Amino acid sequence: MYNVKSMKAEEFISHHEIIETLKYAEENKNNIELAKSILKKAEQCKGLSHREASVLLACEDKDIINEIYTLANKIKKELYGNRIVMFAPLYLSNYCVNGCVYCPYHAKNKQIPRKKLTQQEVEREVIALQDMGHKRLAIEAGEDPVNNPIEYILECVKTIYSVKHKNGAIRRVNVNIAATTVENYRKLKEAEIGTYILFQETYHKESYEKLHPTGPKHDYAYHTEAMDRAMEGGIDDVGLGVLFGLEMYKYEFAGLLMHAEHLEAVHGVGPHTISVPRIKRASDIDPDVFDNGIDDDIFAKIIACIRIAVPYTGMIISTRESKECREKVLPLGISQISGGSRTSVGGYYEPEAEDDNSEQFDVSDKRTLDEVVRWLMQLGYIPSFCTACYRLGRTGDRFMQLCKAGQIQNCCHPNALITLKEFLEDYASPATKEIGDKLIDVELKNVPNEKVRKIAEQNLSDIKSGLRDFRF
């Protein structure tokens, strides 16, 4: 039985409710009046239920689809402005005991060289990332209680925060590791991680069990209830996601929104972010064997519908996607992207050779961070290296309050400009710096509060003189 407040996976992600939702959406996919009324409701930025959003996703009317895109873009602009937050993944270890059939780390893959970074190697990777200009990382590891126990992850987080190379610093470490215990989540919280990210992969229990035939990840309930344990352990920024291509996208979409509704209903705060990865080619993995791949148009529609349904949840897209695809979906709701990513263990210090097959997946966007930053600015976006919220304790519902009070433009906007200025001074190429400095001059005028604007102006000038790390 469906119960949004239940703590049991099969009740808050009820298969029956998803099937009923898909039936309702299918029956109403040409109901223009209903679609219009849902869009009208969505305009208030208060979000939509999984049923309402599923009707929009199913809709095939060209005009309605255009209205979905227009509204997604409007909400994006209103709540996130033109800022795009930058991050990079850092792969710590590819040892894994699971049997996930889509992942090259699966235990039976003998083709991939297994590697786990020593603390010295972590330091080398972090220096390489700092030298690119990164301030925010997402650490990634396979699941292996012997090789990658929680103590190892905690040690790595400590090392990452401790590295201070030139003007560099990693100021926020997000963590993408397998589902774990409340006690371990508490330890991660104490280590001052940012967001705990865990992709559901698929919400379809039967498929989930087939796609994860062996290892601890096989347990659907343990995996699906992980975010509740994370929140019980004190982590209030959690990141959801599904791996598109494994199951029917409409099913995943409804499940994802039901998961968000559950977190909001039980913990009073929805997910901080939603990621939208698609399956990629990798060692021992042929993405074509999965039947549910989605094309770029469906992908864009999903992103726009997520933006409308959960306006206050940030949306992340990685270098799994090409420059062209990223360009298409940025205006529809993406607020965070990675740049200059390496997906092999140790790949920043020692980039993998072309024919090396040790990446977690094929990267489509192979540009450097400097190139990505320049491209974003040429498209009219402000690349932001801001990590202020979490460092000032503005996580979970406190972050939501900031959004809902409409204070983003007096807070996130100047923070974006200040952190971009640091990047331009310390790491940018002359061409990027020139574009960036002009952009900052123009965008500074868009800080509404005069007092804040004056402080930001002073901060920018102090950064030019060599000072660092200002924030609102």
Interface residues toward ligand SAM, by CB under 6 A? 102-103, 140, 142-143, 176-178, 198-199, 201, 217, 243, 277, 279-280, 282, 285, 320, 360-361
Alpha helices in 268-379 (DSSP H): 296-309, 323-329, 369-378
Assess contact for 132 and 88: CB atoms under 8 A. yes
The DSSP bridge partners found for residue 197 are 239
Cβ proximity to ligand SAM, 109 vs 410, nearer residue: 109
Q: What angle do CA 365, 197, 22 make, to 5 degrees?
A: 85
Residue 89 CB, nearest distance to ligand SAM (Å)?
Answer: 8
Residue 119 CB, nearest distance to ligand SAM (Å)?
Answer: 20
Q: How far is CA 173 from CA 15, 327, 356, in A?
A: 34, 26, 28
Cβ proximity to ligand SAM, 282 vs 389, nearer residue: 282
Residue 175 CB, nearest distance to ligand SAM (Å)?
Answer: 9
Taking the C-alpha atoms of residue 65 and residue 54, their distance in angstroms, rounded to an integer, is: 13
Cβ proximity to ligand SAM, 150 vs 444, nearer residue: 150
Give the distance, in angstroms, between the CA of residue 98 and the centroid of all CA atoms in the same chain. Answer: 23
Cβ proximity to ligand SAM, 277 vs 436, nearer residue: 277
φ, ψ of residue 257 to 5 degrees: the values are -70, -35
Cβ proximity to ligand SAM, 199 vs 222, nearer residue: 199
Taking the C-alpha atoms of residue 41 and residue 301, their distance in angstroms, rounded to an integer, is: 18
φ, ψ of residue 11 to 5 degrees: the values are -100, -35
Assess contact for 114 and 94: CB atoms under 8 A. yes
Cβ proximity to ligand SAM, 109 vs 176, nearer residue: 176
Q: What are the b/e assignments for 415-441, b being 16+ CB within 10 Å?
A: bbbbbbbbbbbebbeeebbebbbebbe
Cβ proximity to ligand SAM, 102 vs 470, nearer residue: 102
Cβ proximity to ligand SAM, 50 vs 280, nearer residue: 280
Residue 74 CB, nearest distance to ligand SAM (Å)?
Answer: 30
Q: In which element (H, E) is residue 155 found? A: helix 150-162
Q: What is the DSSP letter of 287?
A: G
Residue 279 CB, nearest distance to ligand SAM (Å)?
Answer: 5
Residue 418 CB, nearest distance to ligand SAM (Å)?
Answer: 31
Taking the C-alpha atoms of residue 319 and residue 429, their distance in angstroms, rounded to an integer, is: 21
Residue 73 CB, nearest distance to ligand SAM (Å)?
Answer: 27
Residue 280 CB, nearest distance to ligand SAM (Å)?
Answer: 4
Residue indicated by tokens 């020593």 = 118
Residue 311 CB, nearest distance to ligand SAM (Å)?
Answer: 24
- Tokens linked to 317: 């897209």
Q: What is the DSSP letter of 244?
A: B
Give the distance, in angstroms, between the CA of residue 6 and the centroid of all CA atoms in the same chain. Answer: 26
Cβ proximity to ligand SAM, 109 vs 432, nearer residue: 109
Beta strands in 24-133 (DSSP E): 83-93
Cβ proximity to ligand SAM, 364 vs 409, nearer residue: 364
Residue 321 CB, nearest distance to ligand SAM (Å)?
Answer: 10
Assess contact for 349 and 121: CB atoms under 8 A. yes
Count of alpha carbons within 13 Å of 395, Cβ hemisphere only?
21
